[in-house]
Amino acid sequence: ASGAASGAAGSPAVPDGAPIPEAFYRFDMMPAYQQLQIMSKGAEHLGIPSPYFKVHEGISGDEARIGDRDYINYASYDYLGMSRDPVVMSAAKDAIDRYGTSVSASRILAGERPIHQELEQAMAQVYDCEDAVTFVSGHATNVSTIGQLFGPRDLVLHDELVHNSVVVGIQLSGAHRVPFAHNDWQAVDELLVRQRRQFERVLIVLEGLYGMDGDIPDLPRFVEVKNRHKAFLMVDEAHSFGVLGERGYGLREHFGMRGSDVDIWMGTFSKAMAGCGGYIAGEKAMVEHLRYLAPGFLYSVGMAPSLTAGSLAALRCMQAEPQRVAQLQARGQYFLREAQAAGLDTGTSIGMSVIPVIVGASVTAAKLSAALFKEGINAMPILYPAVPEKSARLRFFMSCLHTTEQIDATVGALRRLVG
């Protein structure tokens, strides 16, 4: 290569002899940043306080202390109340005493600790799979796994509502990316009937429970489709692990399926497991591939001792106390029923960990969130472009620790403020 670079479509970004425009060397002139400024000025003009970067004091779960006031909190995804659990907290502290605050190396070099292996074996057991591997972030888990396993001759079909980390992973892989209508397994089938043979590998990506809508895919249907077309199936269980099934084992347990029905099980430790990091579970050839070759694993530090031991303790706690899962489900169902009875639009949520209250315009959602906050209730607005403009919403993350009294107070406030 000559080393010469050119702009889009082969033409130079700046014509010969012309001065370099200021916009090309100033951060404050970047279009995305300018758009952000316009939006925050617009909100200020309408008198809507920013809902972002509120500082929480203490431990946030079913309740939170923000500034000098206590709130009923639905903005944190500590689904099983593990973040404040004394057993989980002391496991994290003990791990620091034993292994320090960091493993100070990539796992493959000098970062391997017994608790990493223990956690991975426990996750493999939960999923009834051959093996599992953990990453330091859930986002990095999706990016790195999809980016490593798939390439330009492959096709990745994903539900239109999957998390950003899945989309970024597909972009990194260079595979053809085709979103399909939410939960529409028939659309996937039809596309593969027509186009399967144009690609080498095909991956279908779903979430176990959708983080914005709180509904679930028809897993048996997707499994049948992927088997027929010799495709791989990946399920992101960020919001379903610790939430669905009698033991909290997720979508697999909910539908009574086998671990091997899904090729790539993915999840995060940041939600029900009250930690930080992600995991992949599946067959040995896939997990070993990632352990030796996935950049987000190989070129990143191993999970910190405190987080590894904390999540392991949270997992053991969930296994010893399945009533936490039952209580989360019961409180989610209660919230859903009460909200629906109050005439609120909860979309397609099945009332487990995530319940949206859809109000329409972004401005309406932002104002509702601010009004609730004044009443001591913290629920974040989800605005365009995260969701379509006509379906901006407040999102309620449930905790097994929410009481029916807290839920009654919340739905009562919503009924008054939405009406």
Q: Which stretch binds ligand PMP (CB under 6 A): 135-143, 187-195, 296-304, 305-313?
A: 135-143
Identify the residue among 183, 240, 270, 327 touching ligand PMP (CB under 6 A). 270
* x/- track of binding to ligand PMP for residues 276-305 (CB under 6 A): --x---------------------------
Does position 346 bind ligand PMP by CB under 6 A? no
Does position 381 bind ligand PMP by CB under 6 A? no
Residue number, 271 or 402, with CB nearest to ligand PMP: 271
Residue number, 206 or 344, with CB nearest to ligand PMP: 206
Identify the residue among 137, 183, 362, 378 touching ligand PMP (CB under 6 A). 137
Interface with ligand PMP: number of residues (CB under 6 A) = 13
Residues 207-236 that bind ligand PMP (CB under 6 A): 207, 211, 236
Rg of the chain's alpha carbons, rounded to an integer? 23
Q: How far is the CB of 211 from ligand PMP (least distance, A)?
A: 4
Identify the residue among 51, 61, 138, 259 touching ligand PMP (CB under 6 A). 138
Identify the residue among 76, 145, 148, 268 touching ligand PMP (CB under 6 A). 268
Residue number, 73 or 142, with CB nearest to ligand PMP: 142
Instruction: Tell which phi-psi region holds residue 53, choosing left (phi > 0), alpha (psi between -120 and 50) or beta.
Output: left
Q: How many CB atoms lie within 10 A of CB 48?
A: 18
Identify the residue among 139, 226, 254, 402 touching ligand PMP (CB under 6 A). 139
Does position 115 bind ligand PMP by CB under 6 A? no
Does position 399 bind ligand PMP by CB under 6 A? no
Identify the residue among 134, 148, 165, 327 touching ligand PMP (CB under 6 A). 165
Q: Which stretch binds ligand PMP (CB under 6 A): 110-118, 134-142, 343-351, 369-377?
A: 134-142
Instruction: State the residues that interact with ligand PMP by CB under 6 A.
Output: 137-139, 142, 163, 165, 207, 211, 236, 238, 268, 270, 278
